[in-house]
Structure 1
Amino acid sequence: MSSSLSKIVDGGPLFRFALLTRRWRQIVDQELRTSGLTDATWRPLFYLNILGDGTRQKDLAEALGVKGPSLVRLLETLQDKGLIESSADALDRRAKRLSLSSAGKICARRVQQRVQALEEQLLAVLNEEQMTQLPAMIQALESGLENWTEQA
């Protein structure tokens, strides 16, 4: 481990968690790049697969943690590749609803299967007790952050 990484590790558990998630995304990106997908393309497909057809564009942007204008160019690229479809929202003509195309659903399922396989490989280092505790610990941290942002 480089000295700069060891300083981050010494920064506390949440800094280590941030480092872990960054490294996890790098591994997933590297694996999916062999399928011709970049971080910018696989993540929207992955999230749309989870969120379901008819997801509002602003909801996808929020889930991805990006601003609307940044997402627009990416969505145009995914539409040009035939992976997603966009339609006007029936209740709000300014809003867009997004759906995976048939090809997009196939691609998203492949992404989800590959991510799940990688996740299983990584989590295999945990014992049964740790695996049982992990979701509750993550939920507690998420709740803590949510409470914190509501108070701010």
Structure 2
Amino acid sequence: MNFYESLGFLVFGSRLRRLSESFLADVNDLYKHHKIKFDASWFPVFYILSERQAVSIKDISDELNISHSAVSQLVTNLQSKGLIKISKAKDDGRKKVLTFTSKGNQLLQQVKPIWKALQDSMEELINENKDSRKVLQAIGGVEQGLQTASLFNRIENKLKN
């Protein structure tokens, strides 16, 4: 048993971060290997735009359950690279809407085959171990539990007892 396994839930966050960092590094290495100038951190915005063609920063923030500020930073980065453009919504001039530029659309076409291969590879990986098949459901359960009560509040309650 390795260090992480021996400590169980005490290092749960560290194990998830380590797994996430390894996953994202491999995906970014794959983009580089195929000479595609794309960063895995852009995926959520690119994917949402690929499905809807036009979307507001607020809609992305709500869908991803992250702050408006975090989405704005990512959008600013993508805009500076010429991949997306921001314009006013036709129905509400106060609302800003994101769309792909032609450069962004070209990049989207390059990354779609990577996304498909990634999906297929992850399904293959998950199917290699019967316990792994439950990982997404288990993560969803943890996320739902944290919406009920944050880890901070759960720990504070234990410290009070």
Q: Does residue 1:140 correspond to 2:141, yes or no?
A: yes
Provide closer, same or farther for how the CA distance between residues 142 and 39 of structure 1 changes in structure 2, counting only shifts above 3 A.
Answer: same
| Corresponding residue of 1:71 | 74
Deviations 1:125-147 (CA, angstroms, capped at 9, x unpaired): 33374464233222212211222
| Corresponding residue of 1:117 | 117
Contact between 1:86 and 1:99, CA under 8 Å: does it hold in 2? yes
Task: List aligned pairs for 1:3-152, cutoff 5 A.
Answer: 6=3, 10=7, 11-33=10-32, 34-39=35-40, 41=42, 44-50=45-51, 52-61=52-61, 63=64, 65=66, 67=69, 69-78=72-81, 80=82, 83-127=83-127, 129-130=130-131, 132-149=133-150
Which of the pair has the greater relative contact order for Cα pairs under 8 Å at 6+ separation? 1
Q: TM-score, normalised by structure 2?
A: 0.64
**Offset, 1:42:** 5.1
Contact between 1:9 and 1:15, CA under 8 Å: does it hold in 2? no
Deviations 1:86-122 (CA, angstroms, capped at 9, x unpaired): 2212454333111224553342243243133134324
Which of the two has higher C-alpha Rg?
Answer: 2
1:71 aligned partner, one-letter code? L
**Offset, 1:77:** 1.8
Contact between 1:86 and 1:96, CA under 8 Å: does it hold in 2? yes
**Offset, 1:49:** 2.0
Q: Which runs of 5+ in 2 are unaligned?
A: 154-161
Secondary structure of the equivalent of 1:98? strand
Q: Which runs of 5+ in 1 are unaligned?
A: none
Distance 2:25 2:44 in 1: 13
**Offset, 1:35:** 0.8
Distance 1:61 1:113 in 2: 26
Secondary structure of the equivalent of 1:94? coil
Q: CA RMSD in A?
A: 3.4
Contact between 1:57 and 1:97, CA under 8 Å: does it hold in 2? yes
